[in-house]
A and B are shown apart, each in its own frame.
Chain A
Amino acid sequence: MPYPRLIPCLDVADGRVVKGVRFQGLRDVGDPVELGASYSESGADELVFLDVTATLERRSTLVGLVRRVAARLQIPFTVGGGVRSAGDAESLLEAGADKVAVNSAALARPELLTELAEKLGSQAVVVAIDAEGGLVRSHAGTRGTPRTAVAWAEEAEQRGAGEILLTSIDADGTRAGYDLELTRAVADAVTVPVIASGGAGTTAHVADALEVAQAALLASILHEDAARLGRLRRELLELGVAVRDAA
Protein backbone atom coordinates (compact mmCIF):
# COMPACT_ATOMS: atom_id res chain seq x y z
CA MET A 1 0.00 0.00 0.00
CA PRO A 2 1.21 3.52 -0.73
CA TYR A 3 1.91 5.79 2.24
CA PRO A 4 -1.11 7.31 4.02
CA ARG A 5 -1.55 10.81 2.61
CA LEU A 6 -1.78 14.26 4.20
CA ILE A 7 -3.83 16.52 1.96
CA PRO A 8 -4.28 20.25 2.62
CA CYS A 9 -7.65 21.51 1.38
CA LEU A 10 -8.30 24.97 0.01
CA ASP A 11 -11.99 25.85 0.33
CA VAL A 12 -12.31 28.74 -2.10
CA ALA A 13 -15.05 31.37 -2.25
CA ASP A 14 -14.85 34.43 -4.49
CA GLY A 15 -11.20 33.69 -5.27
CA ARG A 16 -10.08 33.50 -1.63
CA VAL A 17 -9.42 30.57 0.69
CA VAL A 18 -12.05 30.50 3.43
CA LYS A 19 -12.84 28.28 6.38
CA GLY A 20 -15.95 27.99 8.50
CA VAL A 21 -17.37 25.72 11.17
CA ARG A 22 -19.90 23.10 10.03
CA PHE A 23 -19.96 24.86 6.63
CA GLN A 24 -21.12 28.16 8.27
CA GLY A 25 -19.47 31.51 9.13
CA LEU A 26 -16.80 31.42 6.39
CA ARG A 27 -13.78 33.63 7.12
CA ASP A 28 -10.91 34.61 4.84
CA VAL A 29 -7.67 32.73 5.51
CA GLY A 30 -5.56 33.53 2.46
CA ASP A 31 -4.68 33.52 -1.23
CA PRO A 32 -5.10 30.12 -2.94
CA VAL A 33 -2.08 30.51 -5.22
CA GLU A 34 0.31 31.37 -2.38
CA LEU A 35 -1.14 28.81 0.04
CA GLY A 36 -1.05 26.08 -2.62
CA ALA A 37 2.57 26.82 -3.52
CA SER A 38 3.62 26.80 0.12
CA TYR A 39 1.94 23.41 0.72
CA SER A 40 3.58 21.93 -2.40
CA GLU A 41 6.97 23.08 -1.16
CA SER A 42 6.46 22.00 2.44
CA GLY A 43 5.79 18.34 1.64
CA ALA A 44 2.03 17.97 1.19
CA ASP A 45 1.21 14.66 -0.49
CA GLU A 46 -1.51 16.25 -2.64
CA LEU A 47 -3.62 19.39 -2.73
CA VAL A 48 -7.41 19.70 -2.92
CA PHE A 49 -9.17 22.85 -4.14
CA LEU A 50 -12.94 23.09 -3.60
CA ASP A 51 -14.85 26.04 -4.98
CA VAL A 52 -17.45 25.97 -2.21
CA THR A 53 -19.80 28.52 -3.74
CA ALA A 54 -19.77 27.25 -7.35
CA THR A 55 -22.92 25.12 -7.21
CA LEU A 56 -24.82 27.57 -5.04
CA GLU A 57 -24.25 30.44 -7.39
CA ARG A 58 -24.66 28.23 -10.47
CA ARG A 59 -21.42 29.21 -12.10
CA SER A 60 -18.55 27.15 -13.39
CA THR A 61 -15.43 26.69 -11.32
CA LEU A 62 -12.86 29.41 -11.72
CA VAL A 63 -10.74 27.75 -14.36
CA GLY A 64 -8.30 30.66 -14.52
CA LEU A 65 -7.62 30.49 -10.80
CA VAL A 66 -7.13 26.73 -11.02
CA ARG A 67 -4.59 27.33 -13.78
CA ARG A 68 -2.63 29.78 -11.63
CA VAL A 69 -2.62 27.44 -8.63
CA ALA A 70 -1.60 24.42 -10.77
CA ALA A 71 1.32 26.34 -12.28
CA ARG A 72 2.93 26.48 -8.81
CA LEU A 73 2.43 22.84 -7.82
CA GLN A 74 4.68 19.79 -8.08
CA ILE A 75 2.17 17.50 -6.39
CA PRO A 76 -1.18 16.00 -7.48
CA PHE A 77 -4.06 18.45 -7.61
CA THR A 78 -7.77 17.68 -7.15
CA VAL A 79 -10.35 20.34 -8.03
CA GLY A 80 -14.06 20.33 -7.24
CA GLY A 81 -17.05 22.61 -7.11
CA GLY A 82 -19.61 23.11 -9.85
CA VAL A 83 -18.49 20.18 -12.05
CA ARG A 84 -21.66 19.17 -13.92
CA SER A 85 -20.40 17.54 -17.13
CA ALA A 86 -17.47 15.74 -18.74
CA GLY A 87 -16.78 19.05 -20.50
CA ASP A 88 -16.45 20.89 -17.15
CA ALA A 89 -14.07 18.17 -15.95
CA GLU A 90 -11.94 18.30 -19.09
CA SER A 91 -11.52 22.05 -18.86
CA LEU A 92 -10.23 21.61 -15.29
CA LEU A 93 -7.78 18.90 -16.35
CA GLU A 94 -6.65 21.08 -19.22
CA ALA A 95 -6.03 23.86 -16.67
CA GLY A 96 -3.74 21.56 -14.68
CA ALA A 97 -5.97 19.51 -12.35
CA ASP A 98 -5.16 15.80 -12.06
CA LYS A 99 -8.48 14.74 -10.56
CA VAL A 100 -11.92 16.27 -10.42
CA ALA A 101 -14.24 16.02 -7.43
CA VAL A 102 -17.98 15.87 -8.08
CA ASN A 103 -20.71 16.18 -5.49
CA SER A 104 -24.17 17.67 -6.12
CA ALA A 105 -24.17 16.98 -9.87
CA ALA A 106 -23.45 13.28 -9.30
CA LEU A 107 -26.25 13.06 -6.75
CA ALA A 108 -28.64 14.62 -9.24
CA ARG A 109 -27.42 12.41 -12.10
CA PRO A 110 -25.27 9.45 -10.94
CA GLU A 111 -24.48 8.45 -14.57
CA LEU A 112 -22.13 11.46 -14.61
CA LEU A 113 -19.60 9.36 -12.64
CA THR A 114 -19.53 6.69 -15.37
CA GLU A 115 -19.19 9.30 -18.11
CA LEU A 116 -16.26 10.88 -16.28
CA ALA A 117 -14.57 7.53 -15.61
CA GLU A 118 -14.84 6.47 -19.27
CA LYS A 119 -13.38 9.75 -20.42
CA LEU A 120 -10.73 10.44 -17.76
CA GLY A 121 -10.11 7.07 -16.12
CA SER A 122 -11.38 6.22 -12.61
CA GLN A 123 -8.14 7.44 -11.00
CA ALA A 124 -9.16 11.00 -11.96
CA VAL A 125 -12.72 10.82 -10.61
CA VAL A 126 -13.32 11.68 -6.95
CA VAL A 127 -16.81 11.65 -5.49
CA ALA A 128 -17.11 14.16 -2.67
CA ILE A 129 -19.69 13.16 -0.07
CA ASP A 130 -20.88 15.59 2.62
CA ALA A 131 -22.69 13.74 5.40
CA GLU A 132 -24.59 14.77 8.50
CA GLY A 133 -25.91 12.15 10.88
CA GLY A 134 -24.91 9.51 8.33
CA LEU A 135 -27.12 11.04 5.59
CA VAL A 136 -25.80 12.74 2.46
CA ARG A 137 -26.40 16.47 1.96
CA SER A 138 -25.94 18.33 -1.33
CA HIS A 139 -25.30 21.89 -2.50
CA ALA A 140 -22.55 22.60 0.05
CA GLY A 141 -24.60 21.06 2.82
CA THR A 142 -27.70 23.20 2.29
CA ARG A 143 -30.03 20.46 1.02
CA GLY A 144 -30.87 17.10 2.55
CA THR A 145 -31.12 13.82 0.63
CA PRO A 146 -32.57 10.47 1.70
CA ARG A 147 -29.35 8.60 0.83
CA THR A 148 -27.00 7.20 3.46
CA ALA A 149 -23.32 7.99 2.99
CA VAL A 150 -22.50 4.26 2.92
CA ALA A 151 -25.04 3.42 0.20
CA TRP A 152 -24.02 6.41 -1.92
CA ALA A 153 -20.32 5.53 -1.59
CA GLU A 154 -21.04 1.97 -2.76
CA GLU A 155 -23.07 3.18 -5.72
CA ALA A 156 -20.48 5.80 -6.66
CA GLU A 157 -17.74 3.15 -6.68
CA GLN A 158 -19.83 0.86 -8.90
CA ARG A 159 -20.45 3.74 -11.29
CA GLY A 160 -16.74 4.45 -11.68
CA ALA A 161 -15.56 6.82 -8.95
CA GLY A 162 -11.92 6.06 -8.10
CA GLU A 163 -11.75 7.77 -4.74
CA ILE A 164 -14.12 9.00 -2.02
CA LEU A 165 -13.66 12.32 -0.26
CA LEU A 166 -15.85 11.93 2.80
CA THR A 167 -16.62 15.05 4.82
CA SER A 168 -18.49 14.89 8.09
CA ILE A 169 -20.48 18.10 8.39
CA ASP A 170 -20.95 17.29 12.08
CA ALA A 171 -17.17 17.42 12.60
CA ASP A 172 -16.20 20.07 10.00
CA GLY A 173 -14.08 22.88 11.46
CA THR A 174 -14.72 21.80 15.06
CA ARG A 175 -11.14 20.52 15.61
CA ALA A 176 -12.72 17.83 17.83
CA GLY A 177 -11.51 14.86 15.77
CA TYR A 178 -12.60 13.11 12.58
CA ASP A 179 -15.90 11.21 12.46
CA LEU A 180 -14.23 7.82 12.76
CA GLU A 181 -17.43 5.81 12.90
CA LEU A 182 -18.71 7.24 9.62
CA THR A 183 -15.29 7.00 7.99
CA ARG A 184 -14.85 3.36 8.99
CA ALA A 185 -18.34 2.45 7.76
CA VAL A 186 -17.63 3.95 4.34
CA ALA A 187 -14.08 2.58 4.08
CA ASP A 188 -15.35 -0.92 4.92
CA ALA A 189 -18.06 -0.67 2.25
CA VAL A 190 -15.78 0.19 -0.71
CA THR A 191 -12.46 -0.93 -2.20
CA VAL A 192 -11.37 2.45 -3.57
CA PRO A 193 -9.29 4.79 -1.38
CA VAL A 194 -11.13 7.02 1.12
CA ILE A 195 -10.05 10.51 2.21
CA ALA A 196 -11.31 11.43 5.70
CA SER A 197 -12.35 15.05 6.05
CA GLY A 198 -13.62 17.29 8.81
CA GLY A 199 -12.56 17.71 12.39
CA ALA A 200 -8.76 17.59 12.55
CA GLY A 201 -7.55 19.37 15.67
CA THR A 202 -4.54 17.42 16.91
CA THR A 203 -1.87 15.06 15.61
CA ALA A 204 -3.64 12.20 17.40
CA HIS A 205 -6.84 12.95 15.47
CA VAL A 206 -4.96 12.63 12.18
CA ALA A 207 -3.29 9.41 13.34
CA ASP A 208 -6.71 7.97 14.22
CA ALA A 209 -8.14 8.95 10.83
CA LEU A 210 -5.23 7.32 8.99
CA GLU A 211 -6.00 4.05 10.80
CA VAL A 212 -9.31 3.82 8.95
CA ALA A 213 -8.83 5.96 5.81
CA GLN A 214 -6.06 6.17 3.21
CA ALA A 215 -5.70 9.93 3.48
CA ALA A 216 -6.62 12.80 5.78
CA LEU A 217 -7.83 16.18 4.58
CA LEU A 218 -6.52 19.14 6.54
CA ALA A 219 -7.72 22.72 6.52
CA SER A 220 -8.33 24.74 9.69
CA ILE A 221 -5.26 23.55 11.56
CA LEU A 222 -2.88 24.27 8.67
CA HIS A 223 -3.97 27.57 7.17
CA GLU A 224 -3.07 29.63 10.23
CA ASP A 225 0.34 28.09 10.75
CA ALA A 226 2.49 27.37 7.69
CA ALA A 227 5.01 25.25 9.61
CA ARG A 228 2.29 22.99 10.99
CA LEU A 229 2.40 20.50 8.10
CA GLY A 230 6.06 19.56 8.57
CA ARG A 231 5.60 19.32 12.33
CA LEU A 232 2.50 17.17 11.91
CA ARG A 233 4.41 14.78 9.66
CA ARG A 234 7.26 14.43 12.18
CA GLU A 235 4.83 13.91 15.07
CA LEU A 236 2.95 11.23 13.10
CA LEU A 237 6.22 9.41 12.38
CA GLU A 238 7.03 9.54 16.11
CA LEU A 239 3.60 8.05 16.84
CA GLY A 240 4.45 5.19 14.48
CA VAL A 241 2.16 6.28 11.61
CA ALA A 242 4.03 5.37 8.42
CA VAL A 243 3.55 8.63 6.52
CA ARG A 244 6.02 9.55 3.77
CA ASP A 245 9.20 11.08 5.13
CA ALA A 246 9.05 14.27 3.05
CA ALA A 247 11.68 16.18 5.04
Chain B
Amino acid sequence: MKVAICEYGAGNVRSIELAFRRLGAELVDDVARADLAVLPGVGAARTALAGLRARGHDAALRERLAAGRAVLGICLGLQLALEGTDEDGGTEGLGLLEGRAVRLREGRVPRLGWADVEPLGSSFYFAHSYACETPHATAWSEGIVAEARAGSFVGVQFHPEKSGAAGARYLERVLEEVRCPIPV
Protein backbone atom coordinates (compact mmCIF):
# COMPACT_ATOMS: atom_id res chain seq x y z
CA MET B 1 0.00 0.00 0.00
CA LYS B 2 1.53 3.31 -1.15
CA VAL B 3 0.64 6.46 0.80
CA ALA B 4 1.60 10.00 -0.25
CA ILE B 5 1.38 12.98 2.07
CA CYS B 6 0.71 16.35 0.43
CA GLU B 7 3.45 18.40 2.08
CA TYR B 8 3.09 22.16 1.94
CA GLY B 9 5.97 23.36 4.03
CA ALA B 10 4.26 23.75 7.38
CA GLY B 11 3.47 21.70 10.42
CA ASN B 12 4.23 18.26 11.69
CA VAL B 13 3.72 15.57 9.06
CA ARG B 14 6.25 13.23 10.65
CA SER B 15 3.70 11.76 13.03
CA ILE B 16 1.41 10.92 10.07
CA GLU B 17 4.31 9.23 8.28
CA LEU B 18 5.20 7.25 11.41
CA ALA B 19 1.60 6.19 11.96
CA PHE B 20 1.27 4.82 8.41
CA ARG B 21 4.69 3.13 8.56
CA ARG B 22 3.64 1.34 11.77
CA LEU B 23 0.68 -0.01 9.78
CA GLY B 24 3.00 -1.37 7.10
CA ALA B 25 2.33 1.28 4.44
CA GLU B 26 5.04 2.57 2.12
CA LEU B 27 5.45 6.36 2.02
CA VAL B 28 5.89 7.79 -1.49
CA ASP B 29 6.14 11.33 -2.91
CA ASP B 30 3.84 10.96 -5.93
CA VAL B 31 0.46 12.34 -4.83
CA ALA B 32 -1.15 11.49 -8.18
CA ARG B 33 -0.17 7.81 -8.23
CA ALA B 34 -0.24 6.70 -4.56
CA ASP B 35 -3.00 4.34 -3.40
CA LEU B 36 -3.96 6.91 -0.76
CA ALA B 37 -3.23 10.65 -0.69
CA VAL B 38 -3.25 12.39 2.68
CA LEU B 39 -4.00 16.09 3.04
CA PRO B 40 -2.48 16.85 6.43
CA GLY B 41 -3.59 18.91 9.18
CA VAL B 42 -1.78 21.75 10.91
CA GLY B 43 -0.96 25.37 10.30
CA ALA B 44 -2.96 28.39 9.30
CA ALA B 45 -5.42 28.15 6.38
CA ARG B 46 -4.14 30.84 4.04
CA THR B 47 -0.48 29.78 4.28
CA ALA B 48 -1.43 26.13 3.83
CA LEU B 49 -3.58 26.80 0.74
CA ALA B 50 -0.84 28.89 -0.87
CA GLY B 51 1.66 26.09 -0.21
CA LEU B 52 -0.68 23.43 -1.63
CA ARG B 53 -1.37 25.41 -4.80
CA ALA B 54 2.30 26.31 -5.29
CA ARG B 55 3.14 22.59 -5.29
CA GLY B 56 0.25 21.64 -7.60
CA HIS B 57 -1.38 19.42 -4.97
CA ASP B 58 -4.79 21.04 -5.52
CA ALA B 59 -4.96 19.82 -9.12
CA ALA B 60 -3.58 16.38 -8.21
CA LEU B 61 -6.25 15.94 -5.52
CA ARG B 62 -9.04 17.02 -7.85
CA GLU B 63 -7.90 14.49 -10.46
CA ARG B 64 -7.74 11.74 -7.86
CA LEU B 65 -11.28 12.39 -6.67
CA ALA B 66 -12.60 12.57 -10.23
CA ALA B 67 -11.11 9.12 -10.79
CA GLY B 68 -12.58 7.77 -7.53
CA ARG B 69 -9.19 7.40 -5.85
CA ALA B 70 -8.86 7.74 -2.08
CA VAL B 71 -8.00 11.00 -0.31
CA LEU B 72 -7.82 11.42 3.48
CA GLY B 73 -8.01 14.95 4.93
CA ILE B 74 -6.87 15.43 8.52
CA CYS B 75 -7.98 18.38 10.70
CA LEU B 76 -7.09 21.53 8.73
CA GLY B 77 -6.78 19.19 5.73
CA LEU B 78 -10.52 18.51 5.99
CA GLN B 79 -11.30 22.22 6.35
CA LEU B 80 -9.13 23.17 3.35
CA ALA B 81 -11.05 20.66 1.23
CA LEU B 82 -14.31 22.60 1.77
CA GLU B 83 -15.55 25.43 -0.43
CA GLY B 84 -14.34 28.05 2.01
CA THR B 85 -13.23 28.93 5.53
CA ASP B 86 -13.88 31.91 7.78
CA GLU B 87 -10.25 31.69 8.96
CA ASP B 88 -7.92 34.61 8.13
CA GLY B 89 -10.88 36.90 7.38
CA GLY B 90 -12.41 34.47 4.87
CA THR B 91 -10.56 32.34 2.34
CA GLU B 92 -11.69 30.24 -0.59
CA GLY B 93 -11.00 26.52 -0.09
CA LEU B 94 -10.15 23.72 -2.52
CA GLY B 95 -13.85 22.97 -3.10
CA LEU B 96 -13.40 19.20 -3.00
CA LEU B 97 -16.61 18.89 -1.02
CA GLU B 98 -19.54 21.14 -0.13
CA GLY B 99 -19.35 23.10 3.08
CA ARG B 100 -17.53 25.77 5.01
CA ALA B 101 -15.31 26.01 8.10
CA VAL B 102 -16.66 28.39 10.74
CA ARG B 103 -15.19 29.68 14.00
CA LEU B 104 -16.01 27.64 17.12
CA ARG B 105 -18.15 29.70 19.46
CA GLU B 106 -18.64 27.53 22.53
CA GLY B 107 -16.21 26.43 25.23
CA ARG B 108 -12.53 27.25 25.27
CA VAL B 109 -11.01 27.84 21.85
CA PRO B 110 -8.83 26.28 20.50
CA ARG B 111 -10.73 23.10 21.35
CA LEU B 112 -7.84 20.95 22.56
CA GLY B 113 -8.02 17.43 23.89
CA TRP B 114 -9.61 14.04 23.61
CA ALA B 115 -13.35 13.79 22.97
CA ASP B 116 -15.77 11.01 22.12
CA VAL B 117 -16.76 10.51 18.49
CA GLU B 118 -20.04 8.86 17.54
CA PRO B 119 -20.82 6.51 15.89
CA LEU B 120 -17.12 5.53 15.89
CA GLY B 121 -17.36 4.67 19.59
CA SER B 122 -13.92 5.90 20.69
CA SER B 123 -12.31 9.11 21.83
CA PHE B 124 -9.80 10.89 19.60
CA TYR B 125 -7.53 13.93 19.92
CA PHE B 126 -8.78 17.28 18.59
CA ALA B 127 -6.90 20.59 18.21
CA HIS B 128 -8.95 23.16 16.30
CA SER B 129 -10.46 26.65 16.39
CA TYR B 130 -12.74 26.20 13.36
CA ALA B 131 -15.27 23.46 12.60
CA CYS B 132 -16.94 22.18 9.43
CA GLU B 133 -20.49 22.85 8.34
CA THR B 134 -21.14 20.32 5.60
CA PRO B 135 -23.99 18.12 4.36
CA HIS B 136 -21.51 15.22 4.12
CA ALA B 137 -20.95 14.68 7.87
CA THR B 138 -20.79 11.03 8.92
CA ALA B 139 -19.59 11.30 12.55
CA TRP B 140 -19.83 13.90 15.31
CA SER B 141 -18.14 14.91 18.56
CA GLU B 142 -20.16 17.03 20.99
CA GLY B 143 -22.25 18.27 18.07
CA ILE B 144 -19.16 19.13 15.99
CA VAL B 145 -18.49 17.42 12.65
CA ALA B 146 -15.78 14.82 13.31
CA GLU B 147 -15.81 12.97 9.98
CA ALA B 148 -17.15 13.79 6.51
CA ARG B 149 -17.28 11.63 3.39
CA ALA B 150 -18.00 12.44 -0.24
CA GLY B 151 -17.16 9.98 -3.00
CA SER B 152 -13.61 8.76 -2.41
CA PHE B 153 -12.83 11.64 -0.01
CA VAL B 154 -12.85 11.06 3.73
CA GLY B 155 -11.94 13.82 6.14
CA VAL B 156 -11.56 13.84 9.92
CA GLN B 157 -11.46 16.80 12.28
CA PHE B 158 -9.48 14.82 14.87
CA HIS B 159 -5.87 13.66 14.60
CA PRO B 160 -5.86 9.85 14.22
CA GLU B 161 -2.04 9.91 14.14
CA LYS B 162 -2.07 11.42 17.65
CA SER B 163 -4.91 9.34 19.07
CA GLY B 164 -3.06 6.30 20.39
CA ALA B 165 -4.49 2.86 19.72
CA ALA B 166 -7.93 4.16 18.66
CA GLY B 167 -6.30 6.40 16.06
CA ALA B 168 -4.18 3.55 14.71
CA ARG B 169 -7.32 1.41 14.36
CA TYR B 170 -9.02 4.24 12.47
CA LEU B 171 -6.13 4.57 10.00
CA GLU B 172 -6.03 0.80 9.58
CA ARG B 173 -9.70 0.93 8.57
CA VAL B 174 -9.01 3.71 6.05
CA LEU B 175 -6.28 1.55 4.48
CA GLU B 176 -8.67 -1.41 4.48
CA GLU B 177 -11.25 0.66 2.56
CA VAL B 178 -8.60 1.57 -0.01
CA ARG B 179 -7.80 -2.13 -0.45
CA CYS B 180 -11.45 -3.15 -0.66
CA PRO B 181 -13.59 -0.12 -1.58
CA ILE B 182 -17.11 -0.11 -0.20
CA PRO B 183 -19.51 -0.28 -3.17
CA VAL B 184 -21.50 2.95 -3.48
- List chain A residues, Cβ under 8 A from B168: 74
Number of residues from A at the complex interface, CB < 8 A: 41
Q: Mark B126-142, 1 if CB is under 8 A from A, else 0.
A: 11110000000000001
Q: Mark A114-129, 1 if CB is under 8 A from B, else 0.
A: 0001111111100000
- List chain B residues, Cβ under 8 A from A94: 12, 14
Q: Is B151 an interface residue (CB 8 A)?
A: no
- List chain B residues, Cβ under 8 A from A117: 44
Whether the pair B12, A191 counts as a contact (CB closer than 8 A) is: no
Using known A-B contacts A95-B14, A121-B76, A162-B129, determine if residue A214 contacts B108 with beta carbons closer than 8 Å: yes
Whether the pair B42, A120 counts as a contact (CB closer than 8 A) is: yes
Whether the pair A76, B162 counts as a contact (CB closer than 8 A) is: yes
Q: Is B113 an interface residue (CB 8 A)?
A: yes
Whether the pair A75, B125 counts as a contact (CB closer than 8 A) is: yes
- List chain A residues, Cβ under 8 A from B107: 1
- List chain B residues, Cβ under 8 A from A97: 12
Whether the pair B108, A71 counts as a contact (CB closer than 8 A) is: no
Number of residues from B at the complex interface, CB < 8 A: 36
By DSSP majority rule, is chain A's interface helix, strand, loop, or mixed? Answer: loop
Question: Which B residues are closer than 8 A to A by beta carbons?
Answer: 10-12, 14-15, 18-19, 42-44, 47, 76, 107-115, 123, 125-129, 142, 159, 161-165, 167-168
Whether the pair B43, A2 counts as a contact (CB closer than 8 A) is: no
Whether the pair A98, B112 counts as a contact (CB closer than 8 A) is: no
Residue of B nearest to A73 (CB): B15
Residue of A nearest to B164 (CB): A74
- List chain A residues, Cβ under 8 A from B113: 1-5, 45, 193, 214-215
Q: Is A182 an interface residue (CB 8 A)?
A: no
Using known A-B contacts A121-B42, A123-B128, A124-B42, determine if residue A214 contacts B114 with beta carbons closer than 8 Å: no
Q: Is A93 an interface residue (CB 8 A)?
A: yes
Q: Is A40 an interface residue (CB 8 A)?
A: yes
Docked Cα-Cα span, A65 to B6, in Å, equals 26
Docked Cα-Cα span, A53 to B92, in Å, equals 44
Whether the pair B11, A120 counts as a contact (CB closer than 8 A) is: yes
B55 to chain A, nearest CB (A): 16
Whether the pair A122, B164 counts as a contact (CB closer than 8 A) is: no
Q: Is A163 an interface residue (CB 8 A)?
A: yes
Residue of A nearest to B111 (CB): A2
Whether the pair B142, A1 counts as a contact (CB closer than 8 A) is: yes
Question: Which A residues are closer than 8 A to B by beta carbons?
Answer: 1-5, 40, 43, 45, 67, 70-71, 73-77, 90, 93-99, 117-124, 162-163, 191-193, 214-215, 244, 246
Whether the pair A74, B165 counts as a contact (CB closer than 8 A) is: yes
A19 to chain B, nearest CB (A): 25
Could you say which of A40, A74, A118 has the most chain B C-beta atoms within 10 Å of its C-beta? A74
- List chain B residues, Cβ under 8 A from A96: 12, 14-15, 18
- List chain B residues, Cβ under 8 A from A90: 10
Residue of B nearest to A1 (CB): B107
Whether the pair A119, B10 counts as a contact (CB closer than 8 A) is: yes
Whether the pair B112, A193 counts as a contact (CB closer than 8 A) is: yes
Using known A-B contacts A1-B142, A74-B19, determine if residue A122 contacts B10 with beta carbons closer than 8 Å: no
B11 to chain A, nearest CB (A): 6
Whether the pair A123, B11 counts as a contact (CB closer than 8 A) is: no
Whether the pair A71, B12 counts as a contact (CB closer than 8 A) is: no
Whether the pair B14, A40 counts as a contact (CB closer than 8 A) is: no
Residue of B nearest to A195 (CB): B112
Docked Cα-Cα span, A93 to B11, in Å, equals 6
A100 to chain B, nearest CB (A): 10
Whether the pair A214, B112 counts as a contact (CB closer than 8 A) is: yes
Closest 7 A/B residue pairs (Cβ): A2-B113, A123-B110, A2-B115, A123-B127, A96-B14, A162-B110, A93-B12
Docked Cα-Cα span, A117 to B44, in Å, equals 8
